[in-house]
Amino acid sequence: MLNLSKGIALVITLVLVGIPAALSEINRASFPQGFVFGTASAAFQYEGAVKEDGRKPTIWDTFSHSGFIFDGSNADVAVDQYHRYVEDIQLMKDMGMDAYRFSIAWSRIFPNGSGEINQAGVDHYNDLINALIAQGIEPYVTLYHWDLPQALQDKYIGWLDPQIIKDFSVYAETCFEKFGDRVKHWITFNEPHNFAIQGYYSGFEAPGRCSSILCNAGNSSSEPYIVAHNVLLSHATVADIYRKNYKDKQNGLIGISLDVKWYEPETNATGDIEAAQRAQDFQLGWFLDPLMFGDYPSSMKSRVGSRLPNFTDSESVLLKGSLDFLGINHYTTYYARQNATNSIVDLLNDCVTDAAAYAIQDIALFNISAAFKDGQPIGDRANSIWLYIVPSGMRSLMQYIKEKYGNPLVFITENGMDDPNSIFIPIEDALKDEKRIKYHTDYLTNLLAAIVEDGCNVKGYFAWSLLDNWEWVAGYTSRFGLYFVDYNDNLKRYPKDSVSWFKKFLAST
């Protein structure tokens, strides 16, 4: 339960003077008892050791060597957590973190995606999990954080073939068998919306498929929907396996993590309000509607038409309610506006059938947001070109999920901001990350208001990220970490000022 005296004082402050005046007052004790604080990571961004102990290549190994990474880097070493996890766990312990969200690399367990189990990979994750628990840090495990074994991509084009459902299910069940006695929170997929769009619509991320000249193969008009469909059925199948065979004896929960921007209508005009809802339908609703209601949003079905796969009755039953909790990765907020291109969407539905025209239609559906209004940004920008700092979006998003989806159990599985990595910024200056401290303070304050004032069922918060790391196509140009990693000196870890802030925040009771 909420620490009563501090909780009441906070609520009174929020009501009387508004959220900003209460910013300096929040700490761990402000949140309900048992609320989980942790940091998050991904195997490919952290581990390195890409050719060690039986691991074989993934689609991101291939893509990271393809020339599409901003700084020409790759993740062959990353931040070397494969060898330094004991050190990194101590960093979490020193901050007072309760949990660590990490992902298992599929190709460490099944180097070929299926077939023979690699015991060395199993041993590594057993050691990591045991080391976390020994320090009182609870493991939250993601089964798939974008690193599909390359062998399955070569065998049947990975997520585009229904065969992936069976292979993912075998992999997931193996993880339940090997680690489920200690892992009580399983996340099947991280950001399927992101990898469906970036991997199969724009081609900007692995496996780099699209219809444009940027890609060697792909179909932007259909493949994102096929991938998402197979991901959803994979999740539902795995959740069913877990609930039938493991949940009762292991006493764990299974969920999924979805990437979600908040969208504010640019104006009160009907078109902008509808655009904001459509943006959510094609982002959050694309995945959460099937998991909650058994089918895609009606706006997707009507606009995408036959390119959107259908669920059978039995698949809808399998999907509906197939998560014990919802992970939300939230970083930023955009304006939504009625895109002029949308005026031709209905016409395209009626009379155009070729892939190029469908891709034009989807641009209208996906790109109906902007970070600027009347020449002014929606908020201060972090280093990433897409990340604008709008803390109120956290509260609005939690309210939306509560109202539309029946107030499910939610964990904020990622939230954070990045600074630039520049040779012109001395380490001592890079450690002074006041902007990050304000970011977490403001977003946590809005999250607390959603819990205390709005009754949103949120039970945890994971900061992205523990360490500076390899940030996908941004390579090493972006620093999201609470700890600075010196890429020029044996990957030494240095605490930024945000570490001290979190340590103080979490020490309060």
Catalytic residue ranges = 191, 414
Only one residue has tokens 């070729």, namely 354
User: For the chain, what is the largest distance between any 2 Cα atoms, rounded to a whole number of angstroms?
Assistant: 64
Are the C-beta atoms of 45 and 101 separated by less than 8 Å?
no
Residue 124 tokens, joined: 């590594």
Bridge pairing between strands 492-495 and 483-486:
antiparallel
Q: How far apart are the C-alpha atoms of 101 and 99, rounded to whole Å? A: 7
Q: How far apart are the C-alpha atoms of 327 and 51, rounded to whole Å? A: 31
Q: Which is nearest to 37 in space by CA: 191, 150, 131, 140?
A: 140
Are the C-beta atoms of 216 and 364 separated by less than 8 Å?
no
Any idea of the CA torsion for 300, 203, 322, 405, to the nearest 10 degrees? -50
- Cβ burial 404-438 (10 Å sphere, 16+ → b, else e): bbeebebbbbbbbbbbebeeeeeeeebbebeebbb
Q: Which is nearest to 122 in space by CA: 66, 39, 180, 207?
A: 180
Residue 388 tokens, joined: 């604008």
Residues, the chain, total?
Answer: 509
Q: How far apart are the C-alpha atoms of 57 and 154, rounded to whole Å? A: 11
163 sits in which H/E element:
helix 163-179
Q: Which is nearest to 200 in space by CA: 186, 217, 184, 188?
A: 217
Residue 357 tokens, joined: 């025209």
